[in-house]
Amino acid sequence: MIRELRIRWILFRRAHSPEPWHLLVLGAAVLACWIAVAAYSSYRSDQALRQQLGQLQAQTSALSGQVKAQRQEVTYASTPAWQAELARANGLGAPGEQTYVIESPAQVAGPGPVEQAVTEVGSAVTTISQGVLALS
């Protein structure tokens, strides 16, 4: 029985041995699959790079707008009008310039009742504390 199976296996192998052209077709199929995978991979990386390029171009345009605005600000900052405005903001004025002070109505009216009461309590506490310290 084993001998018969062995003989059949040998005969099967002889009848089904690969021809050289079978190996050539198999190699061509493997090469074609490899080329297809490489082409698809290249296509996907190109798509990713195109998307990244679009994002970078959008960022570049946004940054160029910011740079333009900052250049205009720097140009304006070097003008005498801006320097005079900065001096006024810091409480300075040009020589010979008249300055007017406008008080708010609350400051002109004086302290309110609560502020007066706080001041009176504060002075009473001060008087009491000085008296206690004088006794010591």
Distance CA 27, CA 19 (A): 13
Dist. CA 89–CA 85, nearest whole Å: 6
Q: Is a pLDDT exceeding 70 seen at residue 55?
A: yes
Q: Where are the domains of the chain?
A: 1-91
Q: Is the confidence at residue 95, as pLDDT, over 90?
A: no
Average pLDDT value for the chain? 84
The pLDDT tens digits for 64-88 are: 999 999 999 888 888 888 888 888 7
CB 63 within 8 A of CB 71: no
93 contacts 87 by C-beta, under 8 angstroms:
yes
- pLDDT at position 39 is 96
When comparing pLDDT for 38 and 5, which is higher? 38
Instruction: Summarize pLDDT for 102-135 with one digit per residue, the tens.
Output: 777 666 666 677 777 778 888 888 888 888 777 7
